[in-house]
Structure 1
Amino acid sequence: MYTSNLNNLILNSDSYKTSHWVQYPAGSEYLSSYIEARGGDYDVVFFGLQAFIKEYLSTPITHQDINEAETIIQAHGLTFNRAGWERLVDKHNGFLPLRIEAIAEGGIVPVSNVVCQVVNTDPEFYWLPSYIETALLRAIWYPSTVASVSHYCKGIIRDALEKSADNADSLIFRLHDFGSRGASSHESVALGSLAHLVNFAGTDSMAALVAASRWYQMTNDMPAFSIPAAEHSTMTAWGREGETAAFANMIKQFGGAGKAFSVVSDSYDLWNAIDNIWGDSLKEDVKNMGGTLVIRPDSGEPTKVVREALERLAVKFGTTVNSKGYKVLPNYVRIIQGDGISPQSLGKIIDVVLDAGFSAENITFGMGGGLLQQVNRDTMSWAMKASAISINGTWKDIYKDPITSHSKRSKKGRLALVKDDNGKVTTVKADDLNSKQDNLLRDVYVDGKLLIDDNLTIIRERAGW
């Protein structure tokens, strides 16, 4: 029976990494590796490194960790670098002798650029940058991909509001995170939902609120908000014959000046709910309650359902025409579409809404699996590769260039990220930097110390909040 400690950093790696320390050339001293998103449909919004450093690299490795790792790794059929890990504990008090530099969190760069670079600071530990690849790459690719997808969606919604609404003031509340139950783990929710909050201020993932406080200094500030909302169980508990009473109870419980609440309305017949309950039996209550009813369809083909729902609500409640020439429902009734939302479907729904003459301000979106779970490392082709090694005092470039897939060609040398004369962000060799160029990569972690501790507010500003 093995002791189980998921926070043992030695075990937070791929099995094959345990044998790599004897595979490098004799005389190896330093290894420099970098992380990039090699491709994809989205610009990179960098996020998550600070959380990883605080959670995993700020606690030293101990001799107990080494003993546990040795038992498991050797039983697993692999070699174990006990002397190397013991030396790390004895010489560096268990903290990793690494330099990690990265772009500022919330920074936006095109794909195929270095966003993070790591090198060992002690030549005895040339094997360490590669050993932490598994944990470090995972810590960056997932929250950065979610932040990038979320940012892309924000751009779609912003364009729609600028085209069809009097203003875009409500933008940060137009894409709500519904992804908590569909994520693969609690930590995934914390990281992914927090990454979404780089761009928006609406979430139903309370783990993100804890994460913002734990990792990004939002102890006294609330980074996101939600509203009271119904689910099918609270509506169907009243029975089909009690649906009107269920809806009326929502108005009673949550209506009021300045308040908003959401009611899922497709338990039986969405069109009946709009035409005969909200738009007839409870119409005066909705009009006079002082707040905003947000009707939530939750089934059917989204583009068709959203358009028809808007058209039926327009018949029952009327519309005004804004300065852009688009129809707007009264302030007391809106729609939220939270079923079937992805970066691709979002744009299609908005196009249908605008084509029907309705402003995008009539609708808010909820995104669940498409935001937190339907992403993987290949979504943006993330990779961490070694690009330079120092052997016997001499640095040399190293790279891969497989003849069977040139898209997997890796970069060479110790790298830097700069803006060229045209303001375009590009990756260059650090040795080629000139005196007028600033390296956008900055030291974040050196030898166990976190050097930059940003709060979420600053990160949001960088991302164009």
Structure 2
Amino acid sequence: MSKNIILSTDSYKHSHFIQYPPGAKFVSSYIEARRGSDRDQILQFFGLQAFIKEYLMKPITDDTIQEASSILEGHGLPFNESDWLTIADEHRGFLPIEIQALREGAIVPRGVPLVQVRNTDPRFPWLTSFVETALLRAIWYPSSVATLSFITKAVIYDALRRTSEDPDGQVLFKLHDFGARGVSSGESAGIGGAAHLLNFRGSDTVEALAFIHRFYYPSGVPGFSIPASEHSTMTSWGKDREADAYRNMLKEFGHGLFSIVSDSYDLFNTVDNIFGQELKNDILALEGALVVRPDSGDPIETPIAVVKKLWDAFGGTTNSKGYKVLNPKVRVIQGDGMNGLSIARLVTRMVEEGFSIDNIAFGMGGGLLQGHMRDDMRFAMKANAIDFGNGWVDVQKKPATDPLKASKAGRQAVISDASGKLTAIREDALPQDGRNELEVVYKDGRQFNTLYWEDLTAHAHMQLVDFCDTVMKRTEEEEAAAA
């Protein structure tokens, strides 16, 4: 796949250099996830630093321009070769633009600008909008994955705080990424998988580890997995030797945590009779623990039944919060049929049945990494100001046929209010001593405010705690008002 920024755009963008009004010198645009009907909607911002390093820190050369020219020749649009050659010669091939952005990992109300871009060379006002396609694509997808991961983590964490004695330690491994095979490309796996690991530590998407190491500088391994069986390795033993297949797993991997897919033939027979009787003593003697994986049946009631059967066979304890915790040698993971809604339902059922969320983990595949579109959170990049040499003049889109598509007028700033909530204001309304949360991260070939992985993940978890506290407080207030 080409990393040529001249080609990483929509075709029609190549005609825009002759569409701006005469005398235009600078154009400003911003990116946001526009508000929907629910004004409490949030997102988690992620992915910009990787784009900057991968696309903007590699200079345009004469060869880059020639490649673009040869591909676009006869395509039906003018090619602005002279401006690109000027950028290559006078700007060392680096785009003369400035990008401001919020801190990645931030939890942001929809309708608040995430990024603001302007050109820095007055000869190229067209350049601001030219990068829209690549820049927007670099943000909407990982932010969508991160948002789903964060919201799911909030659901799990809330239940853990009610049912577990160690919610902060437990939550990091409660949602596992199984999405690598369900995405459109290896690059998508890396980007989306990294977005998930912003909130959790469990993943089978190896490309995500490489992505994080390349762009976010972790000090150690950013994600973990465990040995696990699949149906091919279990059914290859034959139905008559099903117990032998499981016994082999205990023998090879019983020194640590490992998972067995258990529904190749009869899930409940496996749990009741093979695990619960024939192999019970072997399981109790493990140094590690067996994680039972149902992979068919009702995605809510089947894992509940498995947890109950393991309780009957192996017992456990009741913790200080009054919830049952299985014998530490057995746990359950449910991946089949899991999405944000079904995880919330399964969490609720576990709590209703009196079991701690300590007992179960969850997995998501294509629903985590692939089930997203740009319009889900209405991501858009819009021009908000233009400068003809005498200062910024407002630019705004305001369609009468869809007021929700109205864009912001004027250069933007973002402030943090007294409660810590991010709010958009006009840049010219920023108090003299006020802090603009939109900080410069790229300008004229230089990267600023580099982010490091451990700082991102720590900040993300801190925001999770604040988010859950806020939601809990609001729920209590609403219940008190209703009473």
Q: TM-score with structure 2 length normalisation?
A: 0.93
Distance 2:302 2:185 in 1: 32
Cα distance, 1:421 vs. partner? 4.4
Distance 1:249 1:377 in 2: 46
Structure 2 counterpart of 1:176, which letter? H
Kept in 2, the 8 Å contact 1:29–1:393? The answer is no
Q: What is the correspondence of 1:311-390 to structure 2 with a 5 Å cutoff? A: 311-390=308-387
Which stretch shifts more, 412-421 or 13-22?
412-421
Cα distance, 1:392 vs. partner? 3.9
Distance 1:420 1:326 in 2: 39
Report what 2:79 is aligned to.
80
Distance 2:366 2:180 in 1: 9
Kept in 2, the 8 Å contact 1:419–1:437? The answer is no
Report what 1:175 is aligned to.
175
Kept in 2, the 8 Å contact 1:66–1:86? The answer is yes
Report what 1:400 is aligned to.
397
State the secondary structure of the residue aligned to 2:123: helix
Kept in 2, the 8 Å contact 1:100–1:117? The answer is yes
Cα distance, 1:42 vs. partner? 5.0
Q: For the structure 1 residues 224 and 380, does the alpha-carbon distance in structure 2 shift closer, same or farther, using more than 3 Å as the test?
A: same
Cα distance, 1:86 vs. partner? 1.1
Q: What is the count of residue pairs matched by the alignment?
A: 458
Report what 1:159 is aligned to.
158
The answer to whether residue 455 in structure 2 is matched with residue 458 in structure 1 is yes
Report what 1:124 is aligned to.
123
Report what 1:208 is aligned to.
208
Q: From 399, 422, 447, give the equivalent of 1:425.
A: 422
Report what 1:196 is aligned to.
196
1:227-281 Cα shifts (integer Å, max 9, x gaps): 100011100101111110000000000012xx11000001111111101111111
Structure 2 counterpart of 1:289, which letter? L
Identity of aligned residues (%): 50
State the secondary structure of the residue aligned to 1:10: coil
State the secondary structure of the residue aligned to 2:217: coil
- Unpaired stretches in structure 2, ≥5 consecutive residues: 463-483
Cα distance, 1:29 vs. partner? 0.5
Report what 1:25 is aligned to.
21
Computed over aligned residues only, the root mean square deviation of the Cα atoms, in angstroms, reads 1.3
State the secondary structure of the residue aligned to 2:35: coil
Which stretch shifts more, 321-330 or 123-132?
321-330
Q: For the structure 1 residues 221 and 423, does the alpha-carbon distance in structure 2 shift closer, same or farther, using more than 3 Å as the test?
A: closer
Distance 2:456 2:292 in 1: 33
Which stretch shifts more, 114-123 or 316-325?
316-325
Report what 2:481 is aligned to.
none
Kept in 2, the 8 Å contact 1:209–1:223? The answer is yes
Structure 1 counterpart of 2:226, which letter? I
Kept in 2, the 8 Å contact 1:42–1:152? The answer is no
Structure 2 counterpart of 1:408, which letter? K
Distance 2:209 2:140 in 1: 21
Cα distance, 1:437 vs. partner? 1.7
Structure 1 counterpart of 2:212, which letter? A
Q: Following superposition, which runs of at least 4 residues in structure 1 exceed 4 angstroms of deviation? A: none
Distance 1:39 1:262 in 2: 42
Structure 2 counterpart of 1:105, which letter? E
Q: What is the correspondence of 1:433-452 to structure 2 with a 5 Å cutoff? A: 433-452=430-449
1:385-425 Cα shifts (integer Å, max 9, x gaps): 11111124342111111111111111111000002345432
Q: From 382, 407, 412, give the equivalent of 2:409.
A: 412
Distance 1:170 1:12 in 2: 41
Q: TM-score with structure 1 length normalisation?
A: 0.96
1:409-462 Cα shifts (integer Å, max 9, x gaps): 111110000023454321001001112321001000000111122111011122
Q: From 286, 290, 294, give the equivalent of 1:289.
A: 286
Distance 1:39 1:239 in 2: 55
Distance 1:424 1:208 in 2: 30
Q: What is the correspondence of 1:106-145 to structure 2 with a 5 Å cutoff? A: 106-145=105-144
Report what 1:51 is aligned to.
50
Report what 1:65 is aligned to.
64
Kept in 2, the 8 Å contact 1:133–1:384? The answer is yes
State the secondary structure of the residue aligned to 1:123: coil
Structure 2 counterpart of 1:144, which letter? S
Distance 1:320 1:412 in 2: 60
